[in-house]
A and B are shown apart, each in its own frame.
Chain A
Amino acid sequence: QLQLQGSGPGLVKPSETLSLTCSVSGGSMSDSTYYWGWIRQPPGKGLEWIGNIYSSGTTFYNPSLESRVTISVDTSKNQFSLRLRSVTAADTAVYYCGRLTPFSRGGYKQPKNDYYYMDVWGKGTTVTVSS
């Protein structure tokens, strides 16, 4: 059974870079069908999509965060990573990593970005931005 586990510092100073890694077990990241992504949830608030990456390294980012975000992948380690630059208190959140799977009623040869949903979630990593 596929499992994802995020890891990284729980405390980051304002203006610095938040770095998290997601380790995938119980399956390979090499299947090009899937996206691997990050979603966050500020305390007491809703969910916000951050971005995704294919095993090939192709990325898809939230336009509102794109200028500060980099997602990378290392298929040899079955891991993918998130870097969020110039953080502020507003970036304090639980960060979830997960696998995104495509769905289309009509089938597809190559899935489009809008076909995807997160079907496997990691447990979440709490990150606080504070000096």
Chain B
Amino acid sequence: GQQVMQIPQYQHVQEGEDFTTYCNSSTTLSNIQWYKQRPGGHPVFLIQLVKSGEVKKQKRLTFQFGEAKKNSSLHITATQTTDVGTYFCAGQNSGGSNYKLTFGKGTLLTVNP
């Protein structure tokens, strides 16, 4: 079945440093979504990427979807303490009737003020 691998599992940074998490799928995706889960909270949708090579920005966050639609990344510039949480990618299969989103295991980001 489809697998979505996410690295690193943990990342600790000093406030102001940059952060990147990477997501790789074993199959071609129709779209990839990113979610953020604060400690003790529930996942909250950040963005969806659909097109090959797509790049989207949300303030200090930059999201990329690979040309082959099998990998993606989230980059945070100049991290702040409010960025703390676990970032999950979730990929949806291309074609067929499989509507399942497959989540990566997430990257836990901690920020030292």
A and B assemble together: no
